[in-house]
Structure 1
Amino acid sequence: MTPRLTLLLSLTIPAVLSQASAAADTVAEKPHIVLVMSDDQGWGDTGYNGHPFVQTPSLDAMAKSALVFDRFYAAAPVCSPTRASVLTGRSPIRCKVPNHGRYMRPHEHTIAESLKAAGYVTGIFGKVHLGSGQAHSTCNPTGIGFDEWVIGLNFFDNNPYLSRNGIVEQRQGKGTVITIDDTLAFLEKHKDGDMPMFAVAWFPSPHDPHVETPENRQLYQGKPQAGYYREITLMDQQVGRLRKQLRELKIAENTILLFCSDNGGLNPNTSGGRAKKGSIYEGGLRVPALMEWPLRQLRGRIAAPVSTSDIYPTLMAMAGIEWSPAHPLDGIDISPILAGEVMQRPRPIGFWHLFQKGQATYSDRTLAAIMKKQQAGASEPHDPPRMHKDVYDFPQFEENKATGHAAWNDWPWKLHQINGSEYQLYHLENDPSESKDLSRDPQHAERLRNMQDELHQWMRSVVRSINGEDYSATEMKRN
């Protein structure tokens, strides 16, 4: 096994947004926005964060010229919920994505819809894992604001089946490379238009079974989890290809490019904290994240906690778009932190996993069946439950439901609640590995009670949201 990475706590070095905060700045020409996400990459699974052998030269180069987030958190320790948080700015349970494989409710209002309303052309490519890939489903990317899409339903690997705006095709090649092929085709198509572009590129790697490889198939031979790290290097090469093409298309200067992972990694020794994917200890939530915007000279390091739920409100502010959230958000606009105007996060971050079980989604198997029916001219490509699942059902959960593992990050303190009865309290700055439980220390009794009250209030609000309280009667009516 590789030695456990030292858990470094960076000094806060404020990022720089030239000409003051992007939130306060009026953007004469709206920036292009590109969101890139890896699938199961841990905080320490990059060269710039000190991994002992994995090669990530593209991310390392980006880290030198952009903004590095030292404490960037996925909203959940598994994939689908985090993706929902990016699109909605909300705890994923609120929008009925409490675990992997759940469909996001079409009642939600997404960043794609808001940017589209502000004049953007929108596209999403790669692994989505939030709904259907069928043309007539309200749970496909069109239903959440994307003009163009080429997607898998879950992770995919070599020669994948993908849905292009509802028409399924089998592609030849590596899924990770194809994701960037399609993203670049979208950017090339629209770069000379009069609309700014919003592109989402969500990699299927480095999710197992790790059959994709870079050109050197023997890379990391003899190293632990060699296949996992080979896929990280392949993905890194595609990030480099994307950044190069942004420059060649002459749009890099005014493009906000954000890279992050969807949850903690598969190696607890390099996860950046206790445990790994599937846990809401730090190793399951803390992920690598970088942001660059050359026009605004965005650079430096941010030690304040940031969540994937913050992406939506922050990008709206950075793009200078006035808006009013349709539903209560958990994320906040962190552009004042990016500008160095605020050094600490003003609001805690809530996490809640295992509220419900996940549901298996077999991307290639499902899409291949749909393609077969489409090619045969069948009127219904796949069974209706696959198109909508249960997103129009509103089972009423008890407001005091506490199933699973919840946490409340009020930096530097973090409270855990397990199945509503067990509590743990950690000081992350002094104990980043969450190894010394302070919940029974009389010195912290008042803090424990206050954090418990705040966590309970937040959990109750989340249950009310999944029960449908945030939606109007019109929104809840099935179209």
Structure 2
Amino acid sequence: MMNFPVFVLCLFMVFFAASCTEKEDNPPLPNIILLMGDDHGWDETAYNGHPHLKTPVLDEMAAKGLRMDRFYSASPVCSPTRGSVITGRHPNRYGTFSAGWSIRPEEISIAHLMKQAGYATAHFGKWHLGPVKAESPTNPGAMGFDEWVSHDNFFEMDPTFSVNGADPVVFRGEGSEVVVAEAIKFIEKAKTNQQPFFVVIWYGSPHEPYSGLPEDLALYDNLPEAYNERMVKLTSNETGQQVERPQGEVLRERFAEITAMDRSIGQMRDYLEDKGLRDNTLLWYFGDNGTPQEGNATVPFRGEKGRVYEGGVRVPSVLEWPSRIHEPLVSGMNAVTSDVLPTLCEIINQPLPDRPLDGISLIPMLEGITEERPVPIAFWNGRARQQAADVREPYIDLELQKGTTPLVKLMDGIATRNFHNFRHPDIREEDFGGPRALLDNRYKLVIHGETGEEARRELFDIVEDPAEENNLWESHSETGKNMERQLRDWQQSVLESLVGEDYR
């Protein structure tokens, strides 16, 4: 017969083993930080071979974590891409057609899903999916964020933010460093409450108008004089109106903003390291669209911001997660901002929303087991019906769509941004128009503007011809036509979402 001390020891070992098994089966949820640059194009990092830029933090992340060489923004402009990150869906599904078009209140946000999983959630910086004021039905709080220190649009030095929907206040400092400092304060509270945190930091840099700290500007004092031979248009920090300036002067300021943004990412990494949080924190950086015209000097692709060519939608992306990504990885798999929600849902074991999604989980990429995307990526610069504005029915009361946070750039004479979104009652042939593209693992179809036979079509071998110089439509017409049919079927699904089928 077993004596009592031995019995107790055996019982303890059984419970200990069960506890260890439970911990292995249910590892702690990772902390997640999403970072996004504003108008930061693919080549504008040193690790992607830029001849002038200094981005030591992004370079180190690319060298130690997962470098995504073929990462895309869902749109070549900002608001739509931001919607794709939040929803995992193409922005045309909910009427976020372009910059300044709000999201819809019925959308299910990644922050909603994070909260369900027990995360503390917060947004910092540029929102641009509707006003950030308290009464807005599309502010960060309505989209699932517990706290927010946010701007309706972009911001510069000494930014003005609304804190949890309150009247805007000025935060002194370099804009990128300010938002990281505020995010760190939130993380400290989440740590105190023993909660995993989901933090979204959307920078105002490097969107124009540009400004920089003296030490950052000094790094780019000696850019090649040849850049000044081209004059570019951008906003004046003094007047808020458009001015024309030599591109070399503009690039000096733009590059200074990128370097400051890079440094702020380093400040976050250093904080995580110091607090013992870095190992189990997924830190993911990417841009929201390609380089704008005034910054386009070294882009190796065709097009720029606003175009569905590679120069408009291919952006830098690096991801660190030391406890999961033990060795450096470089992936050539096509990925897009719509993939963020499905990827994070798989990581935290949350079910996907019961509605059409356009993204997929990138876990196979994180595990280094695939270079092939199972489904194509579709791009579409959609548009509202070409009707007079007074016959469109607003989706949200226009008073609730008025912004409050000021910015330098004037539009229609005001130093803030108002938003809009309209109801779409039915589907017509004209609704399929607008520049659009379909990208598979080898080919990219680009269709310009109109529908039917009048539309101009281009087909590129994007692997052999990333600059999109050689149109293969005539020689590979069967491939092109098959892709066009796929694209049209996808557009039909998107338009069904736009008329409200997903909310019924």
* TM-score, normalized by the shorter chain, greater than 0.5: yes
* 8 Å contact from structure 2 (residues 333, 370) kept in 1: no
- Aligned match for 2:463, one of 420, 429, 434: 429
Amino acid at match of 2:198: F
Q: Take 2:25 and 2:368, find their aligned partners in 1: how far apart are those partners?
A: 18
What TM-score, normalized by structure 2, do the two folds share? 0.80
Structure 2 spans left out of the alignment, 5+ residues:
1-23, 224-247, 390-400, 408-416
**2:402 matched to 1:398?**
no
CA contact (8 A) 2:442 2:462 kept: yes
- Per-residue deviation, 1:65: 1.0
Provide closer, same or farther for how the CA distance between residues 77 and 301 of structure 1 changes in structure 2, counting only shifts above 3 A.
Answer: same
Q: How many residues align?
A: 425
Q: Which residue of 2 aligns with 1:203?
A: 203
Separation (CA, whole Å) in 2 of partners of 1:364 and 1:309: 27
- Structure 1 pair 268–211 and aligned structure 2 pair: CA distance change class (3 A): closer
Render the CA deviation track for 1:435-470: whole Å, top value 9, x for unaligned.
Answer: 0001111xx122111111001111121111111111
Query: Does the CA-based 8 Å contact 1:263-1:286 persist in structure 2?
Result: yes
- Counterpart for residue 227 of structure 2: none
Distance 1:99 1:368, change over 3 A: closer
Aligned mate of 1:366, from 387, 393, 404: 404
Give 1:135 shift: 0.9
1:158-212 C-alpha deviation (Å, 9 max, x unpaired): 2222110011212222222211111111112212323210000110000001123
Aligned position for 2:252: 226
Deviations 1:269-292 (A, max 9, x none): 433421111111001111000011
* Cα pair distance change 1:395/1:154, threshold 3 Å: farther
Q: Are 1:249 and 2:275 matched, yes or no?
A: yes
Check whether the contact 1:78–1:277 (CA below 8 A) recurs between aligned residues: yes
Do 1:103 and 1:130's aligned partners in 2 also have CA atoms closer than 8 Å? yes
Instruction: Answer yes or no: is the 8 Å Cα contact 1:40–1:264 preserved in 2.
Output: yes
| Residue pair 1:96, 1:104 contacting (<8 A) in 2 also | yes
Q: CA RMSD in A?
A: 2.3
Which of 459, 478, 484 matches 1:452? 484
Relative to structure 1, is the Cα distance of residues 27 and 258 closer, same or farther in structure 2, using a 3 angstrom cutoff? Answer: farther
For residue 177 of structure 2, give the secondary structure of its aligned residue in structure 1: helix
Partner of 2:145: 146
The Cα of 1:132 is off from its aligned counterpart by 1.4
Q: Give TM-score scaled by structure 1 length.
A: 0.84
> What SS does the aligned partner of 1:28 have?
coil
Give the aligned partner of residue 8 of structure 1: none
Q: Distance in 1 between matches of 2:447 and 2:59?
A: 36
Rounded Cα–Cα distance in structure 2 between residues aligned with 1:430 and 1:457: 27
- Paired position in structure 2 for 1:328: 356
Larger Cα-atom Rg: 2
Amino acid at match of 2:337: T
CA deviation string 1:110-158 (max 9, x = no partner): 1100010111110000001001111122111111000000001111112
Q: Which residue of 1 aligns with 2:112?
A: 113
Distance 2:268 2:275 in 1: 10
The offset of 1:389, in angstroms, is 4.3
Alignment of 1:76-155 (within 5 A): 76-155=75-154
CA drift of 1:403 comes to 2.6
Q: 1:35 to 1:440 in 2, by over 3 A?
A: same
Task: Classify the secondary structure of the residue corresponding to 1:367.
Answer: coil
CA gap of 1:354–1:470, structure 2 versus 1, over 3 A, is closer
Q: Distance in 2 between matches of 1:450 and 1:338?
A: 31
User: What is the one-letter code of the residue matched to 1:325?
Assistant: P
Please list the CA deviations of residues 255-307 of structure 1 after superposition, one character each: whole Å capped at 9, or x if unmatched.
Answer: 00000000111344433421111111001111000011011125310101000
In the aligned structure 2, how far is the partner of 1:214 from the partner of 1:283? 30
Distance 2:320 2:347 in 1: 12
Q: CA deviation at 1:395?
A: 4.1
Change (3 A) 1:189 1:427: same
Q: Which residue matches 1:263?
A: 289
Q: Which residue of structure 2 lines up, in the alignment, with residue 178 of structure 1? A: 178
- Residues 117 and 350 of structure 2 are in contact (CA less than 8 Å); yes or no, is this contact kept in structure 1? no
Secondary structure of 2:208's aligned partner: coil
Rounded to whole Å, the distance in 1 between the matches of 2:37 and 2:150 is: 15
Pair 390,434 (structure 1): closer, same or farther in 2 beyond 3 Å: closer
Q: Which residue of 1 aligns with 2:314?
A: 286
Q: Which runs of 5+ in 1 are unaligned?
A: 1-24, 370-384, 473-479
Question: Shift in Å at residue 52 of structure 1?
Answer: 0.7
Residues 62 and 411 (structure 1), Cα distance of their counterparts in 2 relative to 1, 3 Å cut: same
- CA distance, structure 2, for counterparts of residue 120 and residue 365 of structure 1: 29
1:436–1:390: structure 2 CA closer, same or farther, 3 Å change rule?
A: closer
- The Cα offsets for residues 375-430 of structure 1, whole Å up to 9 and x where unpaired, read as xxxxxxxxxx96x8446x34434255233200000121000111121110000111
